Amino acid sequence: MATVTARTLPWYAPPRMALALRRLRRYPVVPLGILTFCLVIPALLASQVAPHDPLKGSLANRLKAPAWQDGGSLNYPLGTDKLGRDILSRMIHGARVSLVVSLVAILVGGAIGTGLGLISGYFGRWVDSLIMRFVDISLSLPTILLALVLVAAVGPSFGTVITVLVVLLWARYARLVRAETLAIKERDFIARARVAGASHVRIMLRYIFPNVVNSLVVLATLQVGYVILLESALSFLGAGLPRPTPAWGLMIADGRELIVTAWWVSMFPGLAIMLTVLSLNLLGDWLRDHLDPKLRHV
């Protein structure tokens, strides 16, 4: 009689964390929920949801601990900073700042990069070489140095942050769209459009652009997390948004000297950045898998 042996997992079986991340990528309920409560709702309803004015503080309530610790108060659930400003209220308004900066930078940079990528991939030759050299220059620029130079020239402002982000983002869109255009323009329906007398502009906008939209959506979703992280880093270094703007990066910078005595000042904004960027990356992976027909059934 044959003996039945217990089935064991092979040595290459993925660990539990990898399986959990794979499920999150396949079913984006958790990332969407985190984004809704950490970014979307606070950004849209900041004035109604925030319990306090994010710019007004009280020195009598400075460095109050979170509500569950000794000395904390339910009036300030996540504590206060060194100027007595409510951490929760500043985080809620900081979500609006992060979302606005990300959307403006991605829309402007994406529009410039998409247009130049279509022109570069469609016309080729010296036009392609010229645009791609500008792409190489843009991708080689040091982010922090560029931001510091602009801050030294015009001072920290919303416009300075947007300018730095657009300079860094447009090249990524241009390179992606160019690669897609080079493949699409060789297809039969493009040749038939040329024979039918369609102009170059019509071919690019009517026939090529709709075929690169899926890739642009995935890239834009992934870039939101990158922009939030970069804007926070610039604000942390003093090369981003000016004080007293309630930005997550500025909040972390305000608490770096108090990390031992008042950890909550930096901890909660940092946690918000981590959860938001992680959720956006998972959502971008899910969109890539579902919008790309080659990966849809993998």
Domain of 183, CATH number, reads: 1.10.3720.10
Does the residue 81 lie in any domain?
yes
Does the residue 124 lie in any domain?
yes
Residues of the chain with pLDDT under 50: 1-13, 296-298
Amino acid 94: pLDDT: 86
Distance CA 71, CA 84 (A): 14
If one counts the domains in the chain, the total is 1
Amino acid 112: pLDDT: 92
Does the residue 7 lie in any domain?
no
Distance CA 281, CA 51 (A): 30
H helices of 188-208, where? Answer: 188-195, 200-202
Does the residue 227 lie in any domain?
yes
Amino acid 277: pLDDT: 82
Does the residue 63 lie in any domain?
no
Backbone angles phi, psi at 4, to 5 degrees: -100, 120
Does the residue 202 lie in any domain?
yes
Amino acid 107: pLDDT: 92
For residue 16, the Cα-to-chain-centroid distance in whole angstroms is: 27
Amino acid 18: pLDDT: 61
Amino acid 30: pLDDT: 65
Question: Which has the closest alpha carbon to 248: 223, 268, 277?
Answer: 268
Amino acid 11: pLDDT: 43
Does the residue 274 lie in any domain?
yes
Does the residue 268 lie in any domain?
yes
Q: In the chain, how long is the greatest CA-to-CA distance?
A: 85
Domain of 199?
Answer: 37-46+76-291
Distance CA 163, CA 153 (A): 13
Amino acid 1: pLDDT: 44
Amino acid 25: pLDDT: 56
Residue 62: both structure tokens together: 């400075």
